[in-house]
Amino acid sequence: MKIVFLDAYAANPGDIDWSPWQHLVNQDGESIEVEKYDRTAPEETLTRAKNAEILLTNKVIINAELMDLLPQLRYIGVLATGYNVVDTTHASKLGITVTNIPAYSTASVAQMAMAHLLHITLHVGQHSDAVREGRWQTSKDFCFWDHPLIELNGLEMGIIGLGHTGMATAKIAQSMGMKVVAWSSKDKDTLEALGIEKATSLDDLFSTADVLSLHCPLTPQTHHLVCESRLRLMKPTAILINTGRGPLINEQDLADALNEGRLYAAGLDVLDQEPPRNGSPLITARNCYITPHIAWATQQARKRLMTIALENVKAYLNGKPQNVVNQ
């Protein structure tokens, strides 16, 4: 039996111990070969995967055409929570088990959402740079700032999607004195018990939120959830945060809203295309701050990811697969 990691570097660039993977055995007690590739280009995937019973992928696409060429493939482990890189319907037809890694990065992603918000409202980095440049030293006053300073206490935090990360973000916002209103499938009574108000409609949430944070999954229904018509509902002082999925936002519509001053700022950890090799209108948009899809990537979160991935494979080998997404 052979396990192949198609793009291992992102999850583990070498700062997490690989040795537990070297001690895996099958049900007959035989050692399992583990082959790791840092990155795999589309044209390399078939060659590298051809003798594997178990494939592990983060962003390498495993489509129906590829699966049809891999008759020995029995298991695909996605090294992420989202599993849209795998054609799960076709995998089910072929009897291939597909698993994901749920809830491993909850705290890290919520932290990044708030990091973007705190950066936008206080501009700590820019003010630190100003001190290094000598601008405080030459100030006529005992203090110095050249960006607006915004207090979060009393502002409304709108959250779209109240799963693990949405809830974690809500708790942090509440601890900072923010009123939390959520668009969620959870019922009103459940939310009220958590101190969260249930939004009456999605459009109402766009129109009332001082800060809007996206934590919903990417589906056909949520694709371009943030679009021109909804951006026009938002306050010109509002802030948009996205640590979910890039295609939740129509990038040109958001860039236009920022450049025209119809929206105060945006903090984004994800874009429609990653990396944005063809560019994005958001890269040069006014008051738009982008981090390169790293909210999930703290070492603590990646250690949890690798631990759960190993547990998933062990469960499969023992005939009791867990975290299956194509049952």
Joined together, the tokens standing for residue 46 give 């078939």
Burial of 51 (0-12, 13-18, 19+ CB in 10 A): middle
DSSP states along 97-130:
EEE--TTSSHHHHHHHHHHHHHHHHH-HHHHHHH
Active site residue 132: no
Identify whether the C-beta of residue 90 lies closer than 8 Å to the C-beta of residue 70: no
Residue 294 phi/psi, 5-degree rounding, is: -120, 5
**Active-site entry in 30, 192, 260, 274:** 274
277 is catalytic: no
Question: Alpha-carbon distance 311 to 325, whole Å?
Answer: 15
The length of the chain is: 327
- Please name every residue paired with 179 in a beta bridge, in sequence order, or none if there are none: 156
E runs forming strands in the chain:
2-5, 33-36, 54-57, 75-78, 97-99, 156-160, 179-183, 197-198, 211-214, 239-242, 265-268, 288-290
274 a catalytic residue:
yes
User: Which residue among 164, 215, 293, 304 is the active-site one?
Assistant: 293
Left (φ > 0), alpha (ψ -120 to 50) or beta: where does 286 sit? beta
Q: Pick the catalytic residue: 123, 245, 302, 304?
A: 245
Q: Which residues are annotated as catalytic? A: 245, 274, 293
